[in-house]
Amino acid sequence: MVSRGYLASLKDASDWLGFHAKGCTVITCLPDGTLLCSSTERFRLINLMGSKVNQSNIRILNILDLFGNVFWIARVSFGLAESCGGGETGGYSTLALALGRLNHVAIATPDLKKASAVYRDVLGAQVSPPEDLPQHGVTVVFVNLNNTKIELLHPYGNASPIQKFLDKNKDGGIHHICVEVEDIQSAVNHLEQNGSVRVLDRKPKIGAHGKPVVFLHPKDCGGVLIELEQV
């Protein structure tokens, strides 16, 4: 049986693939458990389905014609696969939603100019100009870091969803974290089926990066408001 934790090394991945889908070769095993695989036959890759990987989790990336042989290169993600482990999870969830990279940490601030100046002039970060997002009731400034972003948030309009937060936290503070997912609708469906974490939006909205986003209730996520963004 396979799980994301189990597929921690190229050897594990090759063993698993060799066993479950003969005729496929693992090119590399990415840190998130995704496999890059090749096969001379497309159907061999699709055969991975028999090993609890949905067809939608297999993306054909490239088709190469080398020395008269056609090679299919695919990305096989285990992120949305159902639990298929059994004691070999190595600390990973087997019912994973496929959380990806940390996209940003959002900080609500009562004074956007002052906060931008601290990050730009004192802390030496690259800071974007402010952008009003009326559909979200916020003005945002992005502080670009090497590995992620900080999103400075200030209320826009009279009904801003961050106003109550600022009323409670007069100096501002960390408002939410945003984590990337590959397919937001699958993520929402998964959460609705699971039922223990409320999704705050009936339909995904378009977020600050022009991509679909939803928010998850902080009371169901250990006191942290979580935004999921499709990438």
Ligand X SMILES: C[C@@H](C(=O)O)C(=O)SCCNC(=O)CCNC(=O)[C@H](O)C(C)(C)COP(=O)(O)OP(=O)(O)OC[C@H]1O[C@@H](n2cnc3c(N)ncnc32)[C@H](O)[C@@H]1OP(=O)(O)O
For residue 134, the minimal CB distance to ligand X (Å) is 10
Q: Does 142 bind ligand X (CB under 6 A)?
A: no
Task: Tell me, letter by letter, the H, E, C secondary structure of the chain.
Answer: CCCCCCCCCHHHHHHHHHHHCCCEEEEEECCCCCEEEEECCHHHHHHHHHHCCCHHHEEEEEEEEECCEEEEEEEECCCCCCCCCCCCCCCCCCCCCCCCCEEEEEEECCCHHHHHHHHHHHCCCEECCCEEECCCCEEEEEEECCCCEEEEEEECCCCCCCHHHHHHCCCCEEEEEEEEECCHHHHHHHHHHHCCCCECCCCCEECCCCCEEEEECHHHCCCCEEEEEEC
Q: Is 138 in the site for ligand X (CB under 6 A)?
A: yes
Residue type, 99: L
Choosing from 109, 165, 166, 199, the residue that interacts with ligand X (CB under 6 A) is: 165
* Strands 149-155 and 173-181, bridge-based pairing: unpaired
Q: Does 98 bind ligand X (CB under 6 A)?
A: no
**For ligand X, which is the closer residue by CB, 113 or 164?**
164
Residue 130 interacts with ligand X (CB under 6 A)? Answer: no
Choose, by CB under 6 A, the member of 24, 106, 152, 187 that binds ligand X: 106
| Residue where the block lists tokens 């458990």 | 33
Decide: is 24 part of the binding site for ligand X (CB under 6 A). Answer: no
Single residue of 44, 151, 179, 212 touching ligand X by CB under 6 A: 151
By Cβ distance, which residue is nearest to ligand X?
A: 207
Contacts of residue 84, Cβ cutoff 8 Å, sequence gap at least 6? 1, 2, 3, 51, 52, 78, 94
> Residue 96 or residue 138: which is nearer to ligand X going by CB?
138
Q: Is 197 in the site for ligand X (CB under 6 A)?
A: no
Q: Is 136 in the site for ligand X (CB under 6 A)?
A: yes
**Number of residues located near ligand X, criterion CB under 6 A:** 25
- Asked if 180 touches ligand X (CB under 6 A), the answer is no
Chosen residue from 11, 113, 114, 164 binding ligand X by CB under 6 A:
164
| Residue 207 binds ligand X, judged by CB under 6 A | yes
What are the φ/ψ torsions at residue 8 (nearest 5 degrees)? -85, -20
By CB under 6 A, name the one of 21, 53, 80, 140 that touches ligand X: 140
- Interface region with ligand X, contact rule CB under 6 A, candidates 34-42, 57-65, 117-125, 173-181: 173-181
**Residues in contact with ligand X by the rule CB under 6 A:** 106, 133, 136, 138, 140, 151, 153, 161-162, 164-165, 175-176, 178, 200, 207-208, 213, 215, 217-219, 223, 225, 227
